[in-house]
Structures are given as C-alpha cells and as structure tokens.
Amino acid sequence: MTVNILFAAHEKRWAQYETPLRTALDAIGIDYVLSTSHPPEDVDYIVYAPNSDVQDFTPYTRLKAVLNLWAGVETAVHNPTLKVPFARMVDAEGLTQGMVEWVTGHTLRHHLGMDAHIVNPDHVWTAEAPPVAADRPVGILGLGELGTACGQALAALGFPVSGWARSAKQIDGITAYHGDDGLREILSTSEIVILLLPSTPATENILNAETLSLLPKGAVIINPGRGQLIDDDALIAALDSGQAGHATLDVFRVEPLPPGHPYWAHPKVTVTPHIASETRPPSASRAIAENIRRGEAGEPFLHLVDRDAGY
C-alpha cells in the first residue's frame, strides 16, 4: 500500500529537502507519495517543524508518526492534538557535528583569551600564556546527543569535563552528575559552563541568581541550548558584578533578539543569531526515512519524545 508522507515544514525548507528526502525514501524501498498537500485523512507520516501551519492534528486520522526536523520540541510537545508517536531530530552529520564545532570554537576562544589579541587598539604586549586545557574545568549541563558529543570533543582536547543530566550516566571522558547536589558540584567547579539542556518547566531559569553565585568568579557561560534556561536579569547582574566573566549566547527567549535588548550592547556578552548548528538535509532525510522504514516494518521508532518529561 502506498505510504503518504506530508512535508509540513516551512516552504523554503521544501526546496532544501525535497530531493534528499526522495533519495533517502527511494533507498528504503517503499511505495510512497511525498507532497506538501495530501488530504489530511490520507496522511501516514508528517515530516514536521514546530513553526509549521499544521497545528491541529485531529483531521489526520490515519497518521502513524510525526517526524520532527528540529532537535528542540518544546513548542510542539504539549500539543493535545498530537497523539501519535513524535520523534525529534538526531542528525550526527549536521546538528551534532555543527554543535561540536561551535561549542569547541567558543570554548577555545575563552580558554585561550583570544579576544585580547584580536582587538588590541593600544598594541599592548602582554606576554602571558594561557593555561593548558587540563587546567580549565568545563561543565556541560545536558548530556544528551549534543552535550555528550561536545563533552567528548572537549575531553579529547584535554579539558577536564563534567556533565549533568536528569539520569545517572557513565560516559567515557566525562564525569557525569545528576540531581541537585550534582548541579551544585558541577557549577562550583566549572570555569566554563555550557548549556545543552532542552527547554522544559524543570530547566527554565536553571541559571539564576542563586546558581550563578555558585560559579567560580569570572566563569564563562556558553548557551547554545535555549534562552529559557537563563534568568536574563540575573545573568546581566552577574556579568556586571564580575561574578561571570563573559556570556556567549546563541539562543534567546525572543528571537530574533529585539533591537535594544541589553545583551546587544553588553561588553561581556557575545550574541550569535541561533546558528550554533543546523540540521543537514541529506543526513536528516536519512534519519526521517529510517523512522518511516521502521514504522512500516513494525519496528520501534528512534528518538521518540517523552511527552511527560517534555523532551
């Protein structure tokens, strides 16, 4: 029987995804029709982005799964009409690789103190070498697909890496913590803190006045996770007091970051416009096709979202 697949992400994504999706779907050997406009009652799978026009899944009566093109699912996970399996994107070649490169680059920038030599209008000769990575403890909040890959890349460079997750873990190269005590431990020892948690009620404002006060003075915060993880006023106060040395932020509560937001002009904040990593159409298409193959073969879907946990 023909499998009907609705592509329900933004129009400009269709131009990027149509060919790689067809290539990946051809490779799994199913009879399919991929389109941006199937009658809802005929649709078996939806390739989805949470900013899609499709917000009410009720008319999709034979839907088997919704397959997200994004890793973050917070704006779709609590949709009461989305009752079928909902898979998020895990894309090692695009999302994960991009995040590893962005996090490693920004960590090395702060570790090596590169800014002092890039912008040096008075031509000051400060012959002070930075410490080696082994002397710069790094903490990663979130040890999922992205946090683990970033942590292991930093550990391979020699950084002592600690990480924090909801569950207990054993990960090569990373000292893993969980629970409130684990959070306190990791924050009180990390000179660079990287946020790779999802946005959920439990993680909102995880960096606040109290938790920021645990950090070693002058610690650097790098946030490619979600804007909701940070209490913005508390972070600005910590930067102003010197408790935090710098914040490199890729994600914000409101995006694009509004003109005039204090982050834009703050001398200790680097703003990047939600570009830390992006799904890569060829590999993401293979991930989507693999889940459709699984669905048709009666095998469990990969990377299902836990609706209760919210990620």
The site for ligand NAP (CB under 6 A) is made up of 71-72, 95, 142-147, 164-167, 196-200, 202-203, 224-226, 250-251, 274, 276-277, 311
Task: Identify which of residues 250 and 296 has a Cβ nearer to ligand NAP in the complex.
Answer: 250
The sign of the CA dihedral 182, 184, 190, 192 is positive
CB contact set of 1 (below 8 Å; sequence gap of 6+): 31
Task: Identify which of residues 44 and 250 has a Cβ nearer to ligand NAP in the complex.
Answer: 250
Task: Identify which of residues 63 and 71 has a Cβ nearer to ligand NAP in the complex.
Answer: 71
Q: Which residue has the tokens 């409130």?
A: 180
Cβ atoms of residues 247 and 236 within 8 Å: no
CB contact set of 30 (below 8 Å; sequence gap of 6+): 3, 292, 293, 296
Residue of minimal Cβ distance to ligand NAP: 144
CB of 195 to ligand NAP, least distance (A): 8
CB atoms within 10 A of CB 201: 8
Task: Identify which of residues 253 and 274 has a Cβ nearer to ligand NAP in the complex.
Answer: 274
Task: Identify which of residues 113 and 144 has a Cβ nearer to ligand NAP in the complex.
Answer: 144
Task: Identify which of residues 146 and 219 has a Cβ nearer to ligand NAP in the complex.
Answer: 146
Catalytic residue IDs: 226, 274
Rounded CA gap, 251 and 271, in Å?
Answer: 8
Rounded CA gap, 292 and 76, in Å?
Answer: 20
Cβ atoms of residues 186 and 151 within 8 Å: no
CB of 236 to ligand NAP, least distance (A): 20
